[in-house]
Amino acid sequence: MTKNKEKQNFGKPLGTVMNFFENVGVIALKLEGSLKIGDKIRIVGGEEVNFEDIVESMQINGKDVKEVNAGDDVGIKVSGKARKGYAVYRVE
């Protein structure tokens, strides 16, 4: 499978990682779409990073939220490592 074809299968683009807080495993993301607890996301970056997570925890300004919309700045707990600039997708 070519890289271009793989990119088409990542899902719906949600945005780009603005920051990664390794000590707590949280990405900061400015959303380009909606997202809710229970949705599956995929984080893609660099040569080797490509992992999926089920969204179990999200916060805006330190407060837990269950659903977020385009334009929101949100922190999302993830199981893998990410870096600024990595792409985030909602897997449908």
pLDDT of residue 46: 78
| Residues near 18 by beta carbon (within 8 Å), at least 6 away in sequence | 27, 28, 29, 30, 73, 84
**Of residues 69, 18, 72, 73, the one with CA closest to residue 45:** 18
Longest CA–CA separation in the chain, Å: 41
pLDDT of residue 47: 75
Neighbouring-strand partners of residue 50: 44
For domain 3-91, the CATH architecture is: Beta Barrel (2.40)
Mean pLDDT by 10 residues, the chain (92 residues): 52 94 95 96 86 96 96 96 94 89
